Structure 1
Amino acid sequence: MSAPSAAPAPRKGMPSPRLDEVLFRRRFLQQFTDPAFDRLRRELASIADVAWQAYADSRKSPLTRKAGAGYADPDYELSVDWLEAKTAIDKARSRHDDPAAPPRILIVNASSRSEHTCPGEMSKSYRLAELAQSVFTEEAGLSSELLDLSRLASEYGRNIHPCKACFSTAAPLCHWPCSCYPNYSLGQSHDWMNEIYPMWVAAHGIMLISPVNWYQVSSPLKLMMDRLVCADGGNPDPTATHGKDAAKAKGLELAGWGYPRHLAGRLFSVVVHGDVEGAENVRRSISDWLRFMHLEPAGPLAELDRYIGYWKPYATSHDELDADQAVQDEVRNAARSLTEAVQKRRAGRRDEIGAELRQPRQK
């Protein structure tokens, strides 16, 4: 194999997003608009001074420590946040790989709708997730965890910040887990992904339940999907690129990158529901994404796209779900298929999944 050519220099030319001090302070203090803060304006001005200096100095990760043994550059200073996330992932992987540990299922409610914020009503996705969880826990006795992405819209301090597309510059620049966040100098904190990564790693089976939002997956699900790019070929050693050194990352990729699949082999089920159009395409896009990361479908009944209250008023959509016993049973069968696949895989078998399940609709 011929030696790779010299790594091309990273392309530049976009306008700077940097703020001047006046605009920075205005934006920073907007979060304290409530008149209840009026008596603290002097203290807030002092805090804004510190925040401005952190921003001006680009202090992304103010708390660091040496990487230590096992890294390409043991003396490189790594973010404490990243190191803690890496430790959590390593522990999750140990639980996943332990043959004596009980199987674990991760259920993802991908809807942003919640009774605890503006919509004033729970989502049908959440109800379907509860149906599935009852199969895992009550029927099968499996350990299950519900990741409720609606909390991005309803819970204080819950964020999934957008992917910065480091992978598109060079695969090794995308670190596993993601090192782009938190970025304290930009106020990009409270990033949920450092808690979400171990959930995926520990799981033997993943069940994703999503509505159709404008022919696409929901906003919370897309944020999580994009931030899971580091699980598919991401670099587990940020010291190899000395943090975010794009030129070093390009050189590593051109020298030959292994594209480690950090979630390979886990089994999945996908349930997508809509009310007018788009359910099949959204289900395919989620399933294709999971397959690309080398996760495996849990049988023909584990992938489901359905319409609930087709062309009916939104106001009665929960009543439509109450009446649609078939779709409820299909969701249960998807959960049963995932249960069966995980149990057989853990026993070292690869039998046909779902052969004994009765489909609620024959036509």
Structure 2
Amino acid sequence: MPCICMPLLAEVSHPFDPVAAPASIQEITVTEPRKGQAPAVLKRDEFHFEFRRSFIDPTFAAVEADIARVEQVAWENYINGNKSPVTAKAGPEFEDPDYDLSTEWKATRDSLLAAETVQKNPATKSRVLLICGSARNDGSCPGEMSKTYRMVKLAAATLAASDVEVDLLDLSLLTSGYDQHIYPCKGCVSTAMPLCHWPCSCYPNHGQRQTNDWMAEIYEKWVAAHAVIIMTPVYWYQTPGVLKLMIDRLVCADGGNPDPSSTHGKDAEKAKQLELQGWPYPKHLAGRAYGLVVHGDVAGVEGVRRGLSDWLDWMGLVDAGALSRLDRFVGYYESYAESHLALDKDLALQQEVRNVASAVVNAVAEIRAGNFEPPDAELHRPRPK
């Protein structure tokens, strides 16, 4: 019989440590975080290798000494875990007034409160956030604009004609904007909902060089809007990665904790205790209207549209009617090279996109006038999670 040889533990990137696994459930408390997955901290030479990846262009040779000095500071920030280097006392509006709160997080949170005040003011114009979920634009490798962007412009013109303010969020800037980032969700909510802060406090993390996180601005766009219209192509039966990054980072808008001092930042055990005491799962974006346009060329449009509708429904947003949720093919099984021409010819689809925008305008008007309330608004949710 052949021998099935297992590699030595030293050869395994993340070996399973039986010591990290409890022998029985009785040996751990309910709130004790499970440990044993985190990668090892980089050694100094490993850090040097990773840090210098950004400076391989020969033109940086002229400032080698300066880069070396910056690298040493970055190393010290990394090894010391300087996630939020600038803090201030939280103050009396927080559960723990003496907690050292990130000033960057506090600035984002204050901007959301200000945006919400304007959004709820009946004297302000209605505002719609138009989101282009395609990763393609003519300023990056594809060399051509996306059909999604063209549909966004159709909707924008319809909204503007209805005297509605339009805020465009083009997620393709992640592929063409300089140092533009939406960092991935770290899954804090799956440890305990109160560990997921509203707005997200996982970023920036200066020690890990995770900065310039676009979500701080994007949260404000969502809060300021009375409605959101998402337009997206289908990539392999799913939403494009640029859109999914934003969706995942919006988990904090659905049940997120607006007070990081209550968990002393990212104290997992405190968060678990707080959740077990009974968590209300606040829906920070509920009541806004939404519309959807999903397009593809072969398959997947219905699945993506349903997935997005289910997500927005769960968040407490309100669909603007059947005509506001559109899924269509553009150039079905035709060449990619002629796809823009196919959109030019499909006048019915262009009108359907306009109809999505018009339906959203009508829904916003009804919601803001107090004439619309979902039939299930007063029902008790036995499963708030």
Fold similarity call, TM over 0.5: yes
Is structure 2 residue 318 aligned with structure 1 residue 296? Answer: yes
- 2:353 partner SS: helix
Residue 99 of structure 1, CA deviation: 1.1
How far apart are the structure 2 equivalents of 1:257 and 1:196? 26
Find the counterpart in structure 1 of residue 369 from structure 2.
347
- Residue 142 of structure 2 corresponds to residue 142 of structure 1: no
1:98-177 pair list within 5 angstroms: 98-137=121-160, 139-177=161-199
For the residues of structure 1 that align with 2:238 and 2:188, how far apart are their CA atoms? 23
1:344–1:351 Cα contact (<8 Å) kept:
no
**1:284: which partner in 2?**
306
Q: Secondary structure at the match of 2:174?
A: helix
Task: For residue 44 of structure 1, report the CA deviation from its aligned partner.
Answer: 0.8
Deviates more, 1:10-19 or 1:227-236: 10-19
C-alpha distance in 2 between matches for 1:126 and 1:173: 36
AA paired with 2:217?
Answer: E
User: What do the CA deviations read for 1:144-164 (whole angstroms, capped 9, x no partner)?
Assistant: 100000000000021000000
Give the Cα–Cα distance (whole angstroms) in 2 for the partners of residues 91 and 15 of structure 1.
38
Whichever residue aligns with residue 92 of structure 1, its letter is A
Matched, 1:324 2:324: no
Separation in 2 of the partners of 1:57 and 1:30? 22
Helix, strand or coil: the match of 1:82? helix
Alignment identity in percent? Answer: 51
Counterpart-to-counterpart distance in 2, 1:101 and 1:268: 19
Equivalents in 2 of 1:51, 1:70: separation in Å? 34
Aligned residue in 1 for 2:112:
89
Once residues 31 and 79 of structure 2 are traced to their aligned partners in structure 1, the CA distance between those partners, rounded to angstroms, is 30
Give the partner amino acid of 1:268.
Answer: Y
Aligned position for 1:355: none
Letter of the 1:242 partner, please give it: H
Three-state SS of the structure 2 residue aligned to 1:31 is helix
**Residue in structure 1 matched with residue 329 of structure 2 by the alignment:** 307
Partner of 1:360: none
- In the TM superposition, 1:229-240 aligns within 5 A as 229-240=251-262
> 1:318: how far off?
0.2
- What per-residue deviation string (whole Å, max 9, x for no partner) do you get for residues 200-225 of structure 1? 01111100000000000010110000
Structure 1 length normalisation: TM-score?
Answer: 0.94
Distance apart, 1:16 and its partner CA:
2.1
1:57 to 68, 73, 80: 80
Name the structure 2 match of 1:10: 33
Match of 2:359 in 1: 337
CA contact (8 A) 1:158 1:190 kept: yes
Distance 2:123 2:138 in 1: 40
- 1:191 paired residue among 213, 217, 221: 213
Deviations 1:247-269 (A, max 9, x none): 00000000000101000000000
Q: Distance in 2 between matches of 1:334 and 1:130?
A: 13
1:350: how far off? Answer: 2.6
Q: CA deviation at 1:25?
A: 1.1
Report the equivalent of 1:356. none
- Aligned AA (1:193): M
Distance 2:367 2:292 in 1: 18
Paired position in structure 2 for 1:201: 223
Compare CA radii of gyration and give the structure with the larger one: 2
Shift of 1:15: 4.4
Q: Deviations over 1:130-157 (max 9, x none)?
A: 00000000x2011110000000000002
- Assess if the C-alpha contact under 8 Å between 1:66 and 1:77 holds in 2: yes
Tell whether 2:272 aligns with 1:250: yes
In structure 1, give the amino acid aligned to 2:211: S
Supply the distance in 2 between the matched residues of 1:51 and 1:15 (Cα, whole angstroms).
21
Distance 1:93 1:286, change over 3 A: same
Distance 1:257 1:43 in 2: 50
> Which runs of 5 or more residues in structure 1 are unaligned?
1-5, 353-363
Are the structure 2 counterparts of residues 20 and 167 from structure 1 closer, same or farther at C-alpha, using a change threshold of 3 Å?
Answer: same
Between the two proteins, the alignment pairs up a number of residues equal to 347
**Partner residue in 1 for 2:9:** none
Shift of 1:7: 3.9
Pick closer, same or farther for the CA change 1:17–1:304 going to 2, 3 Å. Answer: farther
- C-alpha separation in 2, matches of 1:15 and 1:164: 12
| Superposition misfits of 4+ residues, deviation over 4 angstroms | none
Counterpart CA distance in 1 for 2:205 and 2:31 is 27
Q: CA RMSD in A?
A: 1.3
Deviates more, 1:245-254 or 1:342-351: 342-351
Q: Which amino acid aligns with 2:49?
A: R
Alpha-carbon distance between aligned partners in 2 of 1:326 and 1:41, rounded to the nearest angstrom: 59
- 1:104-150 deviations in Å (ceiling 9; x for gaps): 1000000010100100000001000000000000x201111000000
Structure 2 runs not aligned, ≥5 long: 1-28, 375-385
Structure 1 position 39, deviation (Å): 1.3
